Protein backbone atom coordinates (compact mmCIF):
# COMPACT_ATOMS: atom_id res chain seq x y z
CA UNK A 1 0.00 0.00 0.00
CA UNK A 2 1.00 3.60 -0.64
CA UNK A 3 -0.13 6.75 1.19
CA UNK A 4 -0.82 10.02 -0.61
CA UNK A 5 -0.94 12.94 1.82
CA UNK A 6 -1.64 16.63 1.40
CA UNK A 7 -2.52 19.57 3.61
CA UNK A 8 -5.91 20.38 2.08
CA UNK A 9 -8.73 18.70 0.18
CA UNK A 10 -7.56 20.59 -2.92
CA UNK A 11 -4.12 18.97 -2.61
CA UNK A 12 -5.59 15.46 -2.82
CA UNK A 13 -8.53 16.19 -5.16
CA UNK A 14 -6.77 14.80 -8.26
CA UNK A 15 -6.06 11.51 -6.51
CA UNK A 16 -9.57 11.23 -5.08
CA UNK A 17 -11.07 11.61 -8.56
CA UNK A 18 -8.64 9.16 -10.19
CA UNK A 19 -8.58 6.43 -7.54
CA UNK A 20 -10.99 3.52 -7.30
CA UNK A 21 -12.65 4.34 -4.00
CA UNK A 22 -13.58 1.49 -1.66
CA UNK A 23 -14.46 3.33 1.52
CA UNK A 24 -13.98 6.40 3.71
CA UNK A 25 -12.61 5.76 7.17
CA UNK A 26 -12.16 7.83 10.31
CA UNK A 27 -8.53 8.35 11.25
CA UNK A 28 -8.62 10.59 14.31
CA UNK A 29 -11.17 13.14 15.44
CA UNK A 30 -12.79 14.58 12.35
CA UNK A 31 -9.96 13.51 10.01
CA UNK A 32 -11.11 11.09 7.30
CA UNK A 33 -9.11 9.11 4.76
CA UNK A 34 -10.04 7.51 1.47
CA UNK A 35 -9.14 3.86 0.88
CA UNK A 36 -8.97 2.26 -2.53
CA UNK A 37 -6.50 1.81 -5.36
CA UNK A 38 -4.51 4.19 -7.51
CA UNK A 39 -2.51 3.03 -10.53
CA UNK A 40 -2.89 -0.63 -9.45
CA UNK A 41 -1.55 0.09 -5.95
CA UNK A 42 -3.70 -0.06 -2.86
CA UNK A 43 -3.69 3.41 -1.39
CA UNK A 44 -4.82 5.61 1.45
CA UNK A 45 -5.38 9.27 0.61
CA UNK A 46 -5.76 11.92 3.30
CA UNK A 47 -5.75 15.69 3.84
CA UNK A 48 -3.84 16.33 7.07
CA UNK A 49 -4.51 20.04 7.57
CA UNK A 50 -1.97 22.75 8.19
CA UNK A 51 0.60 22.43 11.00
CA UNK A 52 3.43 19.93 11.36
CA UNK A 53 2.15 19.07 14.84
CA UNK A 54 -1.09 17.85 13.33
CA UNK A 55 0.52 16.23 10.29
CA UNK A 56 3.00 14.24 12.39
CA UNK A 57 0.18 12.79 14.50
CA UNK A 58 -2.07 11.85 11.58
CA UNK A 59 0.81 10.49 9.47
CA UNK A 60 1.97 8.32 12.37
CA UNK A 61 -1.56 6.92 12.78
CA UNK A 62 -1.85 6.22 9.04
CA UNK A 63 1.53 4.45 8.96
CA UNK A 64 0.69 2.39 12.05
CA UNK A 65 -2.76 1.43 10.80
CA UNK A 66 -2.19 0.83 7.08
CA UNK A 67 1.57 0.12 6.89
CA UNK A 68 2.33 1.88 3.58
CA UNK A 69 5.72 1.12 2.10
CA UNK A 70 5.87 4.57 0.52
CA UNK A 71 4.43 8.00 1.38
CA UNK A 72 3.83 10.63 -1.29
CA UNK A 73 3.62 14.14 0.14
CA UNK A 74 1.87 16.47 -2.31
CA UNK A 75 0.48 19.98 -2.33
CA UNK A 76 2.02 23.44 -2.45
CA UNK A 77 5.03 25.24 -1.03
CA UNK A 78 6.28 28.79 -0.89
CA UNK A 79 9.61 29.71 -2.48
CA UNK A 80 12.04 32.13 -0.90
CA UNK A 81 14.71 31.59 -3.56
CA UNK A 82 15.07 33.29 -6.96
CA UNK A 83 15.83 29.82 -8.37
CA UNK A 84 12.28 28.65 -7.70
CA UNK A 85 9.35 30.53 -9.21
CA UNK A 86 5.58 30.33 -9.12
CA UNK A 87 4.35 27.30 -11.08
CA UNK A 88 7.62 25.36 -10.73
CA UNK A 89 7.90 21.86 -9.31
CA UNK A 90 9.91 21.29 -6.15
CA UNK A 91 11.24 17.94 -4.90
CA UNK A 92 12.48 17.91 -1.31
CA UNK A 93 15.84 16.26 -0.62
CA UNK A 94 15.95 17.37 3.03
CA UNK A 95 13.47 18.59 5.63
CA UNK A 96 14.37 21.12 8.35
CA UNK A 97 12.17 21.97 11.34
CA UNK A 98 11.82 25.73 11.81
CA UNK A 99 10.14 25.70 15.23
CA UNK A 100 12.50 23.62 17.34
CA UNK A 101 15.07 25.27 19.61
CA UNK A 102 16.75 23.30 22.39
CA UNK A 103 20.07 25.09 21.98
CA UNK A 104 20.01 26.67 25.44
CA UNK A 105 19.89 23.29 27.19
CA UNK A 106 21.07 20.79 24.59
CA UNK A 107 24.27 20.33 22.62
CA UNK A 108 22.47 20.04 19.28
CA UNK A 109 21.68 22.67 16.65
CA UNK A 110 18.68 24.85 16.03
CA UNK A 111 15.89 22.80 14.47
CA UNK A 112 17.11 19.57 16.04
CA UNK A 113 14.95 17.52 18.39
CA UNK A 114 17.18 15.97 21.10
CA UNK A 115 18.59 12.60 20.00
CA UNK A 116 17.20 13.10 16.51
CA UNK A 117 18.88 14.17 13.25
CA UNK A 118 19.47 17.80 12.36
CA UNK A 119 17.39 17.22 9.23
CA UNK A 120 15.40 14.41 7.63
CA UNK A 121 16.19 12.94 4.23
CA UNK A 122 13.77 11.88 1.52
CA UNK A 123 14.21 8.74 -0.57
CA UNK A 124 17.23 9.78 -2.68
CA UNK A 125 16.66 7.13 -5.34
CA UNK A 126 13.02 8.08 -5.75
CA UNK A 127 13.87 11.77 -5.82
CA UNK A 128 16.18 11.16 -8.76
CA UNK A 129 13.54 9.17 -10.61
CA UNK A 130 10.94 11.84 -9.88
CA UNK A 131 13.20 14.59 -11.21
CA UNK A 132 13.92 12.67 -14.42
CA UNK A 133 10.27 11.74 -14.81
CA UNK A 134 9.13 15.32 -14.33
CA UNK A 135 11.41 16.61 -17.06
CA UNK A 136 10.15 13.87 -19.40
CA UNK A 137 6.52 14.65 -18.56
CA UNK A 138 6.32 18.44 -18.41
CA UNK A 139 7.99 21.63 -19.54
CA UNK A 140 7.75 23.07 -16.04
CA UNK A 141 11.00 23.86 -14.27
CA UNK A 142 11.94 21.24 -11.67
CA UNK A 143 14.26 21.82 -8.72
CA UNK A 144 15.48 19.51 -5.99
CA UNK A 145 16.42 21.24 -2.77
CA UNK A 146 15.90 21.63 0.97
CA UNK A 147 12.51 22.34 2.52
CA UNK A 148 11.99 24.28 5.74
CA UNK A 149 8.77 23.50 7.61
CA UNK A 150 7.30 25.57 10.42
CA UNK A 151 4.15 26.85 12.07
CA UNK A 152 4.28 30.44 10.87
CA UNK A 153 3.38 31.61 7.37
CA UNK A 154 4.26 34.96 5.86
CA UNK A 155 4.49 36.41 2.35
CA UNK A 156 7.56 38.53 3.22
CA UNK A 157 10.80 37.32 1.62
CA UNK A 158 12.92 39.16 4.19
CA UNK A 159 11.35 37.16 7.01
CA UNK A 160 12.60 33.94 5.44
CA UNK A 161 16.03 35.22 4.42
CA UNK A 162 16.65 36.68 7.89
CA UNK A 163 15.51 33.48 9.55
CA UNK A 164 17.79 31.32 7.40
CA UNK A 165 20.74 33.63 8.06
CA UNK A 166 20.06 33.45 11.80
CA UNK A 167 19.59 29.71 12.11
CA UNK A 168 20.52 27.82 8.92
CA UNK A 169 23.28 29.92 7.36
CA UNK A 170 25.31 26.85 6.27
CA UNK A 171 22.35 25.16 4.54
CA UNK A 172 22.66 26.71 1.09
CA UNK A 173 20.07 24.38 -0.44
CA UNK A 174 17.15 25.81 1.56
CA UNK A 175 14.73 27.33 -0.90
CA UNK A 176 11.13 26.40 0.00
CA UNK A 177 8.80 26.51 2.98
CA UNK A 178 5.54 24.92 4.08
CA UNK A 179 3.67 24.19 7.31
CA UNK A 180 3.06 20.44 6.96
CA UNK A 181 6.04 18.48 5.62
CA UNK A 182 8.17 18.59 8.76
CA UNK A 183 5.69 16.47 10.66
CA UNK A 184 5.32 14.01 7.79
CA UNK A 185 9.10 13.66 7.50
CA UNK A 186 9.43 13.09 11.24
CA UNK A 187 6.77 10.35 11.25
CA UNK A 188 8.30 8.64 8.21
CA UNK A 189 11.77 8.77 9.77
CA UNK A 190 10.60 7.16 13.00
CA UNK A 191 8.70 4.44 11.12
CA UNK A 192 11.47 3.98 8.51
CA UNK A 193 9.04 4.50 5.62
CA UNK A 194 10.20 5.97 2.31
CA UNK A 195 9.05 9.53 1.63
CA UNK A 196 8.80 11.43 -1.65
CA UNK A 197 7.68 15.05 -1.55
CA UNK A 198 6.61 16.76 -4.77
CA UNK A 199 5.30 20.28 -4.34
CA UNK A 200 3.89 22.95 -6.62
CA UNK A 201 5.36 26.38 -5.96
CA UNK A 202 2.29 28.52 -5.43
CA UNK A 203 3.99 31.72 -4.33
CA UNK A 204 7.42 33.33 -4.49
CA UNK A 205 7.99 35.33 -1.31
CA UNK A 206 8.17 39.05 -1.87
CA UNK A 207 6.12 38.97 -5.11
CA UNK A 208 3.05 40.83 -3.93
CA UNK A 209 1.48 40.64 -7.38
CA UNK A 210 1.13 36.87 -6.89
CA UNK A 211 -1.11 37.11 -3.82
CA UNK A 212 -4.32 37.11 -5.86
CA UNK A 213 -3.33 34.07 -7.92
CA UNK A 214 -1.26 31.85 -5.63
CA UNK A 215 -4.05 29.43 -4.73
CA UNK A 216 -5.09 28.99 -8.36
CA UNK A 217 -1.49 28.69 -9.56
CA UNK A 218 -0.83 25.93 -7.05
CA UNK A 219 -3.93 23.99 -8.05
CA UNK A 220 -3.00 24.19 -11.73
CA UNK A 221 0.08 22.05 -11.08
CA UNK A 222 -1.72 19.27 -9.18
CA UNK A 223 -2.61 17.22 -12.31
CA UNK A 224 1.07 17.27 -13.33
CA UNK A 225 2.07 15.97 -9.89
CA UNK A 226 -0.63 13.29 -10.16
CA UNK A 227 0.57 12.16 -13.58
CA UNK A 228 4.16 12.10 -12.34
CA UNK A 229 3.25 9.85 -9.41
CA UNK A 230 1.31 7.59 -11.79
CA UNK A 231 4.38 7.39 -14.03
CA UNK A 232 6.62 6.46 -11.09
CA UNK A 233 4.23 3.72 -9.94
CA UNK A 234 3.91 2.27 -13.45
CA UNK A 235 7.69 2.26 -13.90
CA UNK A 236 8.07 0.49 -10.53
CA UNK A 237 5.80 -2.30 -11.75
CA UNK A 238 7.80 -2.80 -14.95
CA UNK A 239 11.20 -3.02 -13.26
Is the pLDDT confidence value at 156 over 90?
Answer: no
Residues 6+ apart with CB under 8 A from 41: 1, 2, 233
Residue 177's DSSP bridge partners are 78, 148
Q: For position 108, what pLDDT does the model report?
A: 86
Where do the H-state alpha helices sit in the chain?
A: 9-18, 52-66, 124-137, 157-167, 181-191, 214-238
17-21, 62-66, 154-158, range with the lowest pLDDT: 154-158
Interatomic CA distance for residues 90 and 78, integer angstroms: 10
Residue 199: phi, psi to the nearest 5? -120, 145
Q: For position 171, what pLDDT does the model report?
A: 83
Interatomic CA distance for residues 62 and 4, integer angstroms: 10
Is the pLDDT confidence value at 106 over 90?
Answer: no
Note if the pTM is more than 0.85: yes
pLDDT tens column, 56-91: 999 999 999 999 999 999 999 999 999 999 999 999
3-12, 33-42, 81-90, 210-219, range with the lowest pLDDT: 210-219
Domains of the chain: 2-238 (3.40.50.1580)
Is the pLDDT confidence value at 239 over 70?
Answer: no
Amino acid sequence: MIAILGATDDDILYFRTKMILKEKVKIYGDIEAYLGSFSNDECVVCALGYSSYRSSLITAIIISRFEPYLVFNVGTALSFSPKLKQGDLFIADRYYLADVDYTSSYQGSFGQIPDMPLFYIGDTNLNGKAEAGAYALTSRYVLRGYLMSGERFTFDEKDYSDFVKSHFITEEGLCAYDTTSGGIALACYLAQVSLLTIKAVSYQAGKDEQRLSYIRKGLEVMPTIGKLITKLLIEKETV
